[in-house]
Amino acid sequence: MNSHGQNEQQVVWTVVGTDIGPLLLAATGEGLVNVVFHATDEVRHKALDRLGSRLGAEPVEAPGSPLLAEAIRQVEAYFAGARHDFELPLDWSLISGFNRQVLRELSSGVPYGTVVGYGDLAGRVGQPGAAQAVGIAMGANPLPVVVPCHRVVESDGGIGGFGGGLETKRKLLALEGVLPEPLF
């Protein structure tokens, strides 16, 4: 508790090197709260400022924090091909409503090595006409890779969009065996 008798939210972060570039991982006492692609200095500073203002706590770099240890281990194992499912506590406080509902369904219902269409995912949450809204939810995903928005594709076979960039989406889908590895 702070001097005003309120519980202070602790937010810790680190950057992990991966095959798709540096990922920023941030966690609270509730669990992993944010994953940010391409965590260069500029991207990292913007993400941490935004995270601090949204959560009301200054994020602290703490690569050795117990709050991050398991997330780091599982992310590294995923990129090494040794892990297909993330089993982490997640802090969903950065997302709510329909977006949270869609992301929870994605997280639990679309396994490694498979894909789902935007419209199919909308139907799974009882909103069959909401394919565009599902796309917006994917773009708002605060936990990419761990909550696998890269597994959502267009119904006509197109790859769809991706906040981390299409090349990143292709690499993640290739890692999971959905797409062939790039030739060069």
Tell whether 181 is covered by a domain. no
Q: Which of 149, 153, 173, 175 is catalytic?
A: 149
pTM listed for this prediction: 0.92
Look at the chain and report how many structural domains it folds into: 2
> Between the CA of residue 154 and those of 23, 88, 90, 123, 182, what are the distances in Å?
26, 28, 27, 14, 20
Q: pLDDT (tens digit, 9 = 90+) per residue, 116-166?
A: 999 999 999 999 999 999 999 999 999 999 999 999 999 888 898 898 999
**Residue 149 bears catalytic tag:** yes
Tell whether 183 is covered by a domain. no
Q: pLDDT (tens digit, 9 = 90+) per residue, 94-120?
A: 999 999 999 999 999 999 999 999 999
Residue partners of 110: CB distance under 8 A and separation at least 6: 116, 121, 148, 151, 152
* CATH of residue 111: 1.10.10.10
Q: How far apart are CA 144 and CA 146, in angstroms?
A: 5
